[in-house]
Amino acid sequence: MHFDLDIDQGGVMKLRRIQDLDMRGKDVLLRLDLNVPMKGDEITDETRINAALPTIEYVAKNSRRFAICSHLGRPKGQPDPKYSLEPVGSRLAEILDKEVVFFTDYATEPTKPVLDQMTESQFMLLENLRFHPGEKLNDVDFSRRLAAGFDCYVDDAFGTVHRSHASVVGVTKGFEPDRCVAGFLIQKETEVMEKLISAPKAPFTVVMGGAKVSDKIAVILKLLDVCNNLLIGGAMAYTFLKFNGASVGSSRVEDDCFDLVESIYSQAEKRNVRITLPCDHTAASEFSETSPAVEVNEKDIPPGLMGLDIGPKTIEDFSRVIKASGTVFWNGPMGVFEWPEFSLGSCGIAKAMAESSAETIVGGGDSVAAVNQVGLAANMSHISTGGGASLEFLEGKALPGLRVLAF
């Protein structure tokens, strides 16, 4: 697959790296992805925090002072207490055993006077970047204010590298190119994803779920060039099943995507890729957490029922393929995994991957949440923090947040 960014002899994208940056006596702006799930003021999943710790600790050890910036949720360009990073700052302070200096006025007040007063036992955290419209607009003035007062910029927010936002792209204009580098997480993510499409160990199985075929068509077509098996679950499976003439009851279907499904089958046939669809289902009469689960022990779903998860025979079929694979990439849940009655499919995929000897990669988003839900994250070869960024990277797109860090 061709990448717009240069590839070195080892097959890894040539990014400027944090370990090659001399940070002694320097003040560092560190862009992280701390967009963690919250319930009130409680963090419900610390995956992204833990993934960023190697870079945070490296910067803390090697720089003079540092400030962390991130977004959280979708606050629509203005302050919203529900999306404040303050609880995240408190948790980071506990983990790092440092005091957090929480700075909210960085868009209007200079950062340097606050930085100059900080001690080695402190770090700065900027309030949610998306409280300011200039962030998503990649505004020049907002970018300049973010960079002011710092000597170096380290980006380790892989989950945002597909966005042309101020803290990802515009801010780099405030530094010399060799002062803008990738942290350890971005390096690892790009290495894993690049290997997935250039040198996967066969048989290579792709497990694809989620709601829409239209959201995944580009990455599916790319992966069909290198994979041997494509297992399809989630709501998108009902579009495939209906295309093949099966009855799907009142399940969610993208009737306008049959041409996309046809292109997937055509490509799979050319590449000798085996596509496997659900042969049974866990269904319900309506889309509700309290709706009783109904087992449908065949491919066809009766009228009045909608498929909300793959069934036990499908879990068994998918698991058999996964356990015989050399590489497995999973993106998208098999059902409405947030509801216990419809979580068995996603949990089954996670267990099969954990028990497999394959290289197992979980491609961000809800798939990661499903793996964490069953406590099997440590059994996976790689858990991506990327979601949309992971998929766009696999599609072969030149991601703006990586372009500004590349040689």
Catalytic site includes residue 387: no
Given the residues 26, 64, 212, 397, select the one marked as catalytic: 212
Q: Reduced to 3 states, what is the DSSP secondary structure of residue 74?
A: coil
Given the residues 31, 48, 188, 242, select the one marked as catalytic: 48
Q: Identity (one letter) of the amino acid at 293?
A: A
| Residue 187 CA, distance from chain mean position | 14
Catalytic site includes residue 332: no
Given the residues 332, 363, 365, 401, select the one marked as catalytic: 365
Q: Which residues of 151-169 are buried (b: 16+ CB within 10 A; e: fewer)?
A: bbbbbbbbbbbbbbbbbbb
Nearest alpha-carbon partner for 358 in 380, 383, 327 = 327
Alpha carbons 35 and 48: distance in angstroms, whole number: 7
Place of tokens 């992805």: 33
Given the residues 73, 77, 326, 388, select the one marked as catalytic: 388
Nearest alpha-carbon partner for 85 in 58, 116, 48, 117 = 48
Here the tokens at position 266 are 């055509």
Q: Reduced to 3 states, what is the DSSP secondary structure of residue 226?
A: coil
Catalytic site includes residue 144: no
Catalytic site includes residue 212: yes
Side-chain half-sphere of 299: how many Cα atoms within 13 Å? 14
Which residues, at least 6 apart from 113, have a Cβ–Cβ distance to it below 8 Å? Answer: none
Residues forming the active site: 48, 212, 365, 388
